[in-house]
Amino acid sequence: MAKSVHSRATIYDVARMAGVHPSTVSRAFSTPGRVNTGTKKRIDEAAAELKYLANPFARALPTGRTTTLGLLIPKTQNPAFYDVICAAQRVAASRDYALSLQMSSAGAGTRSGAGPRLMETVDGLLLVSPDMDDDTIRELADAKPIVLVNREVQGVPSVLPDISIGLNQAFRSLAASGHREIAFVAAPGDSWMSRRRWEGASVAATWLRLRLHKVYATKDSTGGGRGAARSVRACGATAVVADSDLLAIGLMQELQAAGLGIPDHLSIIGSDDILAAEFTSPPLSTIRSSLNACAAQASALLLDIIHGASALDTVITVETEFVMRGSSGRLNSM
């Protein structure tokens, strides 16, 4: 008979209904490969009928594992991180792991911050674009398995976009369209990835003999992009590469409100390829970073490490690409 709705089914209830010892039920949930298929099926059917929910923290007592991955992402308006969450959730679920999500505010990446607190309840941690210093990240990695996304630290496994490919394609497209003065609109905070983008943009501009101007936004948002418009116009650039699509969209909105045509008067290119990039007017050209692919590979790598794989110096790169849409094009000679 099924349990009352007022009481929660236990592992002993599942064992009784399936006709097995409670230790067999425990193995079926923690290490299913050690239980034969027929027995596992009976246990699963009993658990479903009883609406049994495994408690990962109780399970961690004898095994030392919670079958939970931690995901720490920056507190940001950038919707690109939504794809990261979805990809990590999908991979975790495919391996019967739960995902515990936490956001960290800028400047909160310390030894007593969100990362260390999250580590207490998970088997391993995905750190996405962390603002922690390298030593703090290494200390966390000494305690439990960690994989970085969108950041590289020597001695810690990481998965990151190879931004040089997409940047080179974008700058070659601008050069071929007659642009010679390019502005790079950087997000505030001087993040690791923002520095990499600036370095990649500088290399591409030097190789193509283009003049590159750096403009800082006050926020990584559409408002930050709008605020950067005056500086972009003042530097004399005819094209812009922005640190994010949000910055690029805000810049486009402000310039259009001032009566400037896009791309007739200024070509604009973003970074990340968020969903909204296709629905601006004109549609936004952008450098697709495939953070969802990075997160999926990082999640799979983290699970492999948790289960014994060695990946101390592993660095996996995912190719980026320039997606040309209507916001960039040939320089208007007017």
At 3 the pLDDT is 47
Q: What does the pLDDT average to over 249-276?
A: 95
Residues 139-161: pLDDT tens digits? 888 888 999 999 999 999 999 99
Residue 315 or 119, more confident: 315
Secondary structure (H, E, C), 311-329: CCCCEEEEECEEECCCCCC
Q: Which of 25-34, 89-98, 202-211 has the lowest mean pLDDT?
A: 25-34
First CA to last CA across the chain, in angstroms? 82
- Asked whether the bond before 282 is cis by omega within 30 degrees of 0, the reply is yes
- The whole-number pLDDT of residue 4 equals 43
Architecture of domain 162-290: 3-Layer(aba) Sandwich (3.40)
In this predicted model, what pLDDT tens digit does every residue of 185-239 receive, in sequence order?
999 888 899 999 999 999 999 999 999 999 999 999 999 999 999 999 999 999 9
Same CATH fold assignment for domains 68-161+291-319 and 162-290: yes
Please write the tens of the pLDDT for every residue from 282-332. 999 999 998 999 999 999 999 999 988 887 779 999 999 999 999 999 987
CA–CA distances in Å: residue 146 to residues 71, 162, 309: 10, 20, 13
303-312: long-range contacts, CB 8 A cutoff, minimum separation 24: 303/69, 303/91, 303/92, 303/95, 303/97, 303/124, 305/124, 305/145, 305/147, 305/157, 306/65, 306/123, 306/124, 306/145, 311/147, 311/157, 312/155, 312/157
Q: pLDDT band for 24, please (50, 70, 90 cuts).
A: confident
Q: How far apart are CA 4 and CA 301, in angstroms?
A: 41
Could you read off the pLDDT of 75-86 as tens digits, one per residue? 777 888 899 999
Pairing of strands 211-216, 285-288: unpaired
> What's the whole-number average pLDDT of the chain?
88
Domain definitions of the chain by residue range: 11-54, 68-161+291-319, 162-290
CATH fold for domain 68-161+291-319? Rossmann fold (3.40.50)
The rounded percent of the chain whose pLDDT value lies above 90 is 64
Sign of CA dihedral 215, 221, 222, 224: negative
pLDDT digits (tens, 9 = 90+) for 169-184: 999 999 999 999 999 9
